[in-house]
Structure 1
Amino acid sequence: MLSSRPFRRLWTSLALSSLGDWLSLLALVSLAAILTQDSGPTAQYFAISGVIALKLLPAVLLSPVADALTDRLDRRLTMAVATVVRGLLYLSIPLVGRLDWLLIANFLAECVALFWGPAKDSAAADLVPQDKRRQADRAGLLAAYGSAPVAALLFAVLSALSLTLGGLLPVLGATAADLALYAGGVTFLVAASVVWGVPVPERTDHDEEDGQRSLPRVLWDGVRFSGTTPLARGLLLGMLGAFAAAGMVVGVARVLVAGLGAGNAGFAVVFGALFAGALVGLATGHRLVRRISRRRLFGLALGTSGIALLVAGLVPDLVLTAVLVAVAGLGAGAAWRIGLTLLGDELEEDIRSRTFAFLYAAAGVKLLAAAVVAPLLAALIGSHTLAVGTLAYDFRGADGVLLIAAVVLLVVAFVAQRQVDDERDVSLLAEVTAALRGAPARPDPALTTHRGLFLVLEGGEGAGKSTQTRQLAIWLREEGFDVLTTREPGATKVGMRLRALLLDKENTGMSPRAEALLYAADRAEHVDSVIRPALERGAIVISDRYVDSTLAYQGAGRELVGDEIKALNGWATGELVPDLTILLDLPVGQGMQRHGRPADRLEAEPDEFHERVRKGFSALAEREPERYLVLDAQDAQATITRAIRRRVRPLLPDPVPGDAEEITGMIPIIRD
């Protein structure tokens, strides 16, 4: 998406504005705590709760009015003016230096943000093609939440500057919160200059519908249309529960670190650790334990977050608290990533977009609402000293909130897991134990029905699959392995006849369903007579195309229902899944230029068809990244070959039989 210059400018403005938002949140919470520190912890808790509540209140109460007004305004001008006004409001807070103006300016800034949001969404809708909307949404989420740890790092640096250089320059005599507000204000002004350069097109028909998608309506639609199955209900419960727990950490973090003897820098560390851990979980968490099913890994990730928060509420050490909060964020991020993937597979297209819109909106509301409630709970709990003999333990309200968040998250994890888990024949404990030992907890047809290794090369026309299949086979044979290379369709006598039917241009009128059935018939014969016997004898099988080609060509290309094709081919192959699928990705149009022969029936399809096929392959790889190696087919052949070898090498079985060492161990040693 970022290859589009207009969208890139809009995304950059969003990232800068989000950075300013997070900086202002850190600064306002810290400044509220500083301005009320003489009044005691209870006053600090209420001040922090008030700051966060005023960030949430305008969106809940005034968003329908703001959306209606935004529809009548120029979108680029609205975004630029709203961003400038927000920047000026945040710049004014340290200049005035009073708590009442802090709250007023914070409220006004959030009111102005209500105009910026719909204008940005409407502009993005015109800048992004319909089939790229989900990618644009993911890019927007990355900008919105990925800027949080950056803001925390910047806030920590400003805290250090305010302490070490405060006496050198008058402006640096301000607190870290003041400096952060100055930096945030400047960030908003830069974001305004960037968004002013975005070429926003004229309004289209969908703008009216987009403009009416206010926060209350999105939440209401989500309640009505989401949660249609136990799996969806469990996933939504777990994902929103993770955000609520994160919000409770944000709400009490400033007072929590103060009780541990730290100030603004410590607050930045804990805050940054939470969101940095979440980002790592989003990127890699679903790959940490590959032998556990995704549904169970979802509940396990939530449970890990809950346990980390439970321990964090009991330890009186800043460094350990930051580490545990990062672990909690890691689990929450992993659960979020797994949940999005499972929801995308579970929901029908007509309610998927509404459910995702509800999820994104509800996550933000949950985060802020929990951050509002958390300081009030901490004030209600208060501070206590627990004495056991000569030992004394100081228990503060912030600690109690972390314990409450942990218990709530553990309960949510248990309930969500009960809704999501469909594999109760093996207990979760047994599966986790087996995964830690490196062994499967249950028989897996893809792992236990053969002793060999099954590798598949996939990609569009002219991507270089045949070349890389040949190079891979040569290398493996040189390493001493029994290697079988094959292809689809046409690897058997039956398959050759089916291939002639499928690729003959005379059959251009063949129905998509008939085409899918013929490919499945070829694959059933191929697996039964060629692939599975070779795997059972311990060979390495390399196939040029397999099930994913049908899912991409007939599913995405012919626009058939992917789940039906997947079920059909699962039955045809006996659920035989490749150990690794190597996807060679090549832009549409370049592949045919590599061919030196006339195009067959599928190759002769228009570019729109092949573009859908390419997207279909990419979507499959995104859903199961642990089973795919995606390579740019535009790279040099030698580069691609080296990358394939690096990925395949750890999967290779030992070419020396297991009993060989026993045999050689019986040879007598000859001594002089």
Structure 2
Amino acid sequence: MAFEEPSLEEPSTVASTRVGRIFGSPQYFRLWIAQMLSSGGDWLALFAILITADRVGGGTPEASVAYVMIARFLPGLVFGSAAGVLVDRWDRKRTMVVCDLGRAATLLWLPFVDFIWQLVVASLILEGFALLWAPAKEASVPNLVPREKLTGVNSLSLVAAYGTFPLAAGVSIGLAGLASIIGRVEAVDFMRIDPESMAFYIDAATFAASAFIISRLALPRSPQAGGANATGSGDSTRVWAPAQFLRDLKDGWSYMFLNPTVRTVNVALAVGLVGGGMIVPLGPVFAEDVLSVDGGDGFRVFMVALGIGVALAIAGLTVRQRHLNKERVFLFAVFGAGACLFVATCMWTLYGSALLVGGLGVCAGTVYVLGITLLQESATEELRVRVFAGLFTLVRSSVMLALLLGPALALFLNGLSDKFFDKDVNILGFEVIIPGVRLTLWLAALIMLAAWFLTLASVGKEQSSDGAR
């Protein structure tokens, strides 16, 4: 199948105001505000959902939390790519508005759940709407800002998605006092006011606000919206036929592996996340077993360092976006992430290790922002939604694999190390302890370096093909 060359629809005019210079256009600024509101509320609700799972879980709160987390991950693994095919057939703006309103309605139900199955169902619904909203949003960005501004606005998108986490954490602390004050009003007794229900009500309000803002955006219709199929015809019967649906799904995945840039980004992010994601479940164990500090304290230092590193990456990319060779910097950052993780796990002090984890954050933030930008620039308008839906499926699969594989692998390697080396080896006169967690993180770093090698090989193959032509 022949695919059209990518064609980003540049906005005809970009405001000369400060908003236009920073955000690319006033339209994208509004979309960013909507994302800030909904992301902040979503973090707040996630805390409340986990607390609610613990409360309604009865005698097995741990299992209840696990059920909810599985409900958050499972839809993306199973239906992520299909969501992209669906969004391709719908108006993107309308899709985002309906998804925001659907999430708001679901959140208004959560204060009244009394059983874990209700919470699992609500989590599945919320995740289903998120699966449709995210690719519609990412595919719409190139229609709102000029090409040269994509790196900067994707950095800002990362801020909106994850920078609201500490703000939501702070707000959640104050909800107990607010709930106590509002709970004294008898007229609102039917709302079951408590800290968790307040979080759900606030999150519902943020999604309603996001829906209103997005409804005011000037977004073009996607090529297939309204019953147009891949050839541009209006045969809606053919579009919704199962055979055509499966063919479109196949075309999306084929394009992800045939387009050199899309393939390179997907390989780097998917393989790299399998390695890098292991630091989340293993960070506390590494701090305690290798660095001999409290696991919780060490993990918090690592997360702060990681966050600072990502913030530095965002600032640097925003300032230098016009002067970047995005492909070259992307490859360098993939290598740097693996190298930083390897050296960080070789350290013997907490702050030395945290400094390298900060470097990992710089590289990881760079890889994410430039990866998204390269996809937006390379993917055709017709297939852009499916490309992002496929990417999010790969990302979720990689993160889930890292969270499950990391602890199991650390336990296995710990047994081997204890049996054959008594958990330490002598290297040039130095005693080096090698518990399973350190061996696992070394392996994770090597996996990330393998991602760099694969992306480098993919680029080299593309250049050789271009030279032959």
TM-score computed with the length of structure 2 as normaliser = 0.60
The offset of 1:50, in angstroms, is 0.9
Aligned pair partner of 1:53 in 69, 73, 76: 73
The offset of 1:188, in angstroms, is 1.5
Confirm whether residue 224 of structure 1 aligns to residue 237 of structure 2: no
Confirm whether residue 238 of structure 1 aligns to residue 259 of structure 2: no
Distance 2:65 2:441 in 1: 14
Partner of 1:371: 399
CA contact (8 A) 1:299 1:417 kept: yes
Confirm whether residue 333 of structure 1 aligns to residue 350 of structure 2: no
Distance 1:268 1:150 in 2: 13
The offset of 1:308, in angstroms, is 2.7
Confirm whether residue 276 of structure 1 aligns to residue 294 of structure 2: no
The offset of 1:94, in angstroms, is 5.9
Partner of 2:167: 154
Partner of 1:380: 408
Please give the residue correspondences for 1:645-656 in structure 2 after superposition, counting only pairs within 5 Å.
none
Stretch moving more, 325-334 or 405-414: 325-334
- Give the partner amino acid of 2:159: G
Confirm whether residue 207 of structure 1 aligns to residue 228 of structure 2: no
- How many residue pairs get matched? 403
Structure 2 stretches lacking a partner, 5+ long:
1-13, 184-192, 231-238, 289-293, 425-430
Partner of 2:213: 194
Distance 1:190 1:31 in 2: 25
Q: Report the CA distance shift for 1:392/1:19 in structure 2 as closer, same or farther (over 3 A).
A: same
Please give the residue correspondences for 1:25-174 in structure 2 after superposition, counting only pairs within 5 Å.
46-47=66-67, 50-54=70-74, 56-57=76-77, 59-60=79-80, 63=83, 66-67=86-87, 70=90, 76=94, 79-90=96-107, 92-93=109-110, 96=113, 99-113=116-130, 116=133, 128=143, 134=147, 141-142=154-155, 144-158=157-171, 161=174
- Give the partner amino acid of 1:333: G
- Give the partner amino acid of 2:445: A
Distance 2:59 2:344 in 1: 27
**3-state SS of 2:121 partner:** helix
User: Which fold has the larger relative contact order, with Cα–Cα distance below 8 Å and residues 6 or more apart in sequence?
Assistant: 2
Distance 1:328 1:232 in 2: 23
Partner of 2:444: 405
Please give the residue correspondences for 1:244-259 in structure 2 after superposition, counting only pairs within 5 Å.
244-245=274-275, 247-249=277-279
Aligned pair partner of 2:37 in 11, 16, 20: 16
Q: Report the CA distance shift for 1:156/1:277 in structure 2 as closer, same or farther (over 3 A).
A: farther
- Give the partner amino acid of 2:125: L
Q: Report the CA distance shift for 1:278/1:107 in structure 2 as closer, same or farther (over 3 A).
A: farther
CA contact (8 A) 1:308 1:325 kept: yes
CA contact (8 A) 2:43 2:168 kept: no
Higher-Rg structure is: 1
Q: Report the CA distance shift for 1:393/1:113 in structure 2 as closer, same or farther (over 3 A).
A: same
The offset of 1:413, in angstroms, is 1.4
Please give the residue correspondences for 1:172-191 in structure 2 after superposition, counting only pairs within 5 Å.
181=200, 183-191=202-210
Please give the residue correspondences for 1:597-612 in structure 2 after superposition, counting only pairs within 5 Å.
none
CA contact (8 A) 2:77 2:396 kept: no
Aligned pair partner of 1:416 in 455, 459, 462: 455
Percent identity reads 24
CA contact (8 A) 1:83 1:188 kept: yes
Aligned pair partner of 1:308 in 340, 344, 351: 340
Q: Report the CA distance shift for 1:161/1:52 in structure 2 as closer, same or farther (over 3 A).
A: same
- Give the partner amino acid of 2:342: L
Q: Report the CA distance shift for 1:179/1:333 in structure 2 as closer, same or farther (over 3 A).
A: same
Distance 1:75 1:340 in 2: 20
- Give the partner amino acid of 1:149: Y
**3-state SS of 1:56 partner:** helix
The offset of 1:331, in angstroms, is 1.1
Residue-by-residue CA offset, 1:271-307 (whole Å, 9 max, x unaligned)? 745753553464468999x9xx976654442222113
Q: Report the CA distance shift for 1:84/1:7 in structure 2 as closer, same or farther (over 3 A).
A: same
Distance 2:229 2:367 in 1: 29
Distance 1:229 1:298 in 2: 17
Residue-by-residue CA offset, 1:414-441 (whole Å, 9 max, x unaligned)? 333344469xxxxxxxxxxxxxxxxxxx
CA contact (8 A) 1:149 1:272 kept: no
**3-state SS of 2:163 partner:** helix
Distance 2:434 2:199 in 1: 32
- Give the partner amino acid of 1:237: V
Distance 1:79 1:53 in 2: 20
Distance 2:382 2:59 in 1: 47
CA contact (8 A) 2:334 2:452 kept: yes
Partner of 2:189: none
The offset of 1:311, in angstroms, is 5.0
Distance 2:254 2:347 in 1: 42
Q: Report the CA distance shift for 1:374/1:241 in structure 2 as closer, same or farther (over 3 A).
A: closer
Distance 1:237 1:116 in 2: 23
Distance 2:119 2:299 in 1: 18
Partner of 2:236: none
- Give the partner amino acid of 1:12: I
Partner of 2:6: none
- Give the partner amino acid of 1:152: F
- Root mean square deviation, CA, Å: 5.8
Stretch moving more, 105-114 or 273-282: 273-282
Residue-by-residue CA offset, 1:69-108 (whole Å, 9 max, x unaligned)? 846xx965x6444313313433544653754333221111
Residue-by-residue CA offset, 1:300-356 (whole Å, 9 max, x unaligned)? 4222211333355677988766654442231133345666788899x7xxx665786
Partner of 1:549: none
Q: Report the CA distance shift for 1:48/1:252 in structure 2 as closer, same or farther (over 3 A).
A: farther
> Which one has a larger percent helix, Structure 1 or Structure 2?
2
- Give the partner amino acid of 1:192: A
Partner of 1:260: 295
Distance 2:313 2:97 in 1: 31
CA contact (8 A) 1:281 1:334 kept: no
CA contact (8 A) 1:278 1:333 kept: yes
Residue-by-residue CA offset, 1:518-566 (whole Å, 9 max, x unaligned)? xxxxxxxxxxxxxxxxxxxxxxxxxxxxxxxxxxxxxxxxxxxxx9xxx
Distance 1:112 1:294 in 2: 32
CA contact (8 A) 1:36 1:47 kept: no
CA contact (8 A) 2:284 2:298 kept: yes
CA contact (8 A) 1:247 1:367 kept: no
CA contact (8 A) 1:156 1:265 kept: no
Q: Report the CA distance shift for 1:87/1:344 in structure 2 as closer, same or farther (over 3 A).
A: closer
CA contact (8 A) 1:89 1:105 kept: yes
**3-state SS of 2:296 partner:** coil
